[in-house]
Chains A and B, each alone.
Chain A
Amino acid sequence: MHILIVEDDQIARDVLAKALTEVGHTVDVAVNGLEGLQLASSAAVDLAIVDRMLPKLDGLALVQSLRATGRKTPVLILSALGEVDDRITGLRAGGDDYLTKPYHMSELLARIDALARRGDNGSAEANTKLKLADLELDRMSRRVMRNGKKIELTAREFQLLEFMMRHSGQVVTRTMLLEGVWDYHFDPQTNVIDVHISRLRQAIDKDFDKPLLHTVRGAGYSLREDE
């Protein structure tokens, strides 16, 4: 994937570029907003990571200008600001996701993955049936079946599984789950998400040979068919 990094902080930019290259992405870098906008406007860019505060052209203005030209390139905004409101303004300006510094590389990579696949999964979004291996989820009838056996889930477990299935094969972090399923943006001091996941795991994996819900150490969870 061709990723553009618009970041004025050299250390952050270099580390990020290196990490993205290592996982197999092609990386372009821009050190200020104007340069960033020029590069982002080129057709080659699949995804842009834009710092919120940039010299010459502010990160938000960059995203707004990009959207004004009709480009739908997914944009992840990185911010070193106070948050709460800034996240809303960032998303309103046209950003697709928002991450506050300092972040874990695993969090950023997971979010980039999710953003990049959002384009492909556009059809899955409209699909009423999600399927992974022998696990099936019907959004219309709100039924979950595994290997032909009906699985009883609470409303929240259903939502959680739906989210995981829409991101199947990807790493989903705890914050992504809290945001995506509960619409909350804070870090609970208690391992609330882990317990929800372990309940879901009980429900969908316990009576079956092949586990589908995996823990990714130091990052989060992943719903996938293990090779």
Chain B
Amino acid sequence: MEQEQRFLGVLGSSPFRIAVVYSVVFALGVVALLGAVYFAVSQVVDSSTDNLIEAEVQGLREQELVLSRSDFIELIEQRSQDQDVRGAVYLVVDPQLRPVAGNVPAWPKSAANEGKWIQFKVSVPFGDETRVHEMRAENFPVYAGYRMLVGHDVQERQDVKSLMMRGLIAAVVLTMLLGLGGGFWMGRRILAQAGAISAVATQIMRGDLSQRLPVRDAEDELNSLAREINSMLDKIEQLTLGMRTVLDSAAHDLRTPLNRLQATAEAAMTQLAPASNERRVLERVTSEVDHMRSTLDALLRIALAETGTVAREAVDLSELVASMVELYAPVTEERGIRLESSVIAGAEVQGSRQLLAQALANLLDNAIKFTPKGGHIRVLLRLHGACPEVVVEDDGPGIPAEKREIVLGRRVRLDEARKFPGSGLGLSLVAAVTKLHGARLVLDDARPGLRVALKF
């Protein structure tokens, strides 16, 4: 099966197609060239025999004038027996077309009404056997009512011609076969290299930036292309790793002082009486630290998703969506919102389970935030063609069409949303995670409400 697919793949490759076109062109060239040679050679051979026959006929006509009929027949008889003149044929017939002299057993049927030149077949002895040979002859009347044939065995000529014709066909077939075979071989070679390139590209897309294209020990276009792509990949890896390092140090430099702040405030709180003013201040401090932490976490996750360096694994999307629905079901029920879901089984994507879960949680958090009591939230996992699609729909206020693009930008909160809590990074994170997974994020009107679709 795989073998067959590889074979069909080669047939579809561009080198093979080019080879097909070229072998057809070359085959036509071969036909033209050998055809011309064939034509010229037949021309020469044909006319030389015809000249020979013409000359003989000329001679015999002169003899006819000076010889009596019986002498003429004698002469023909002699010439017919002459072994030196190999391949020459003679035949004299009476008005009833009965042979009178010559070395052809019977008047050829085809010669009856045809013109001057005729062609016919005669059995001739050849060693122990007899063979049917092609003869070419001129037929003309002699004496009163008699007719005669003077011709020559043209079998050899025919043999040469058919040999040439066979050679021509063989040359054409060979050209085609060589062309197709060469094309197949080149197609396979290029396909193998293209396959290697796309395999590496896939792995790089999955976040493994250490992969490089295989470079062979040759100086051809594909190799230099591979080399250039590799140096491009070096650059990308450097940049991405650099970004990762910057991210890590930024994370470190922000988390460390936040941690000190949190630790110090918490330590101080334990020394204070529960309802004291100082304690309340410190509680404000720790709650601000919490807020900063969640903003920082979101920003870092967005940045991380955007570097594309997150390790990927096979994620059971069906399990993930079902378990997120299950996780959020009680809270929606408590708030008087109906959570409906329809999840197909067996959907799988390559990616980060945690980031996908976070993205879905953000969508559900948002939906819950904006859906009034008595409203609906619908979560769907369905197949769009062969690709899974996750949809989260609410019947809250929705987002006006002209603002849908804007909300995907970082830290955008629409005025209408200011009365709701949140960092404003939720959808940005969803967008980054969607992009990381090579998916498309589509915001739509759910009439009423917002429909968010992640199309993988």
CA distance A185 to B258 in the complex (A): 20
A122: interface (CB < 8 Å): no
Cβ-neighbour of B259 out of A101, A188, A191 (below 8 A): A101
In the complex, chain B residues whose CB is within 8 Å of the CB of A100: 255, 297
Known A-B contacts A102-B262, A105-B266, A192-B331; the reply to A186 vs B361 at CB < 8 A is: yes
Is B260 located at the chain interface by the 8 A CB criterion? Answer: yes
Tally A residues with Cβ within 8 Å of B.
Answer: 36
Q: Are A84 and B263 in contact (CB under 8 A)?
A: no
Whole-angstrom CA separation of A47 from B114 in the bound complex: 119
Q: For window 175-207 of chain A, which residues contact chain B by CB distance below 8 Å? A: 182, 184-192, 195-196, 199
From A11, A83, A185, A188, contact of B264 by CB (8 A):
A11
The B-contacting residues of A in range 112-143, CB under 8 angstroms, are: none
B304 to chain A, nearest CB (A): 5
- Could you give, for residues 290-304 of chain B, a 1 whenever the CB lies within 8 Å of some chain A CB and a 0 otherwise? 000110010011011
| Cβ-defined contact, A186 with B263, below 8 A | no
Contact of B357 (CB < 8 Å), options: A105, A184, A191: A184
The interface residues of chain A lying within 8 Å CB-to-CB of B365 are 188-190
A19-B267, A83-B300 given; A9·B334 CB < 8 A: no
Q: Decide: A190 and B310 in contact? CB cutoff 8 A.
A: no
* B358 on the A face (CB < 8 A): yes
Complex Cα gap A104–B247 (Å) = 23
Q: A85-B310, A103-B262 are known contacts. Are A186 and B331 too (CB-CB below 8 A)?
A: no
The answer to whether B263 touches A192, judged by C-beta atoms less than 8 angstroms apart, is no
Q: Does A18 contact B (CB under 8 A)?
A: yes
Asked if B364 CB lies within 8 Å of chain A CBs, one says yes
Find chain B residues with CB under 8 A from A53 CB: 252
Shortest distance between the CB of A112 and any CB in chain B (Å): 15
Report the Cα distance A182→B304, complex, angstroms: 23
Chain B positions within 8 Å of A182 at CB level: 323, 327
Q: Which residues of A contact B369 (CB under 8 A)?
A: 189-190
Cross-chain contact A82 with B258 (CB below 8 angstroms): no
CA distance A188 to B354 in the complex (A): 12
Residue of B nearest to A184 (CB): B357
Pairs across A and B, CB under 8 Å, 9 listed: A53-B252, A83-B297, A85-B311, A88-B311, A102-B258, A103-B262, A156-B326, A192-B327, A192-B330
B-to-A contact residues, CB < 8 Å: 244, 247-248, 251-252, 255-256, 258-264, 266-267, 270, 286, 289, 293-294, 297, 300-301, 303-304, 309-311, 323, 326-328, 330-331, 334, 352, 354-355, 357-358, 361-362, 364-365, 368-369, 421-422, 426
Given pairs A104-B262, A189-B362, 5 additional interface contacts (CB within 8 A): A83-B300, A102-B289, A182-B327, A190-B368, A192-B327
Residues of A within 8 A of B (CB): 9, 11-12, 15-16, 18-19, 22, 53, 80-85, 88, 100-105, 156, 182, 184-192, 195-196, 199
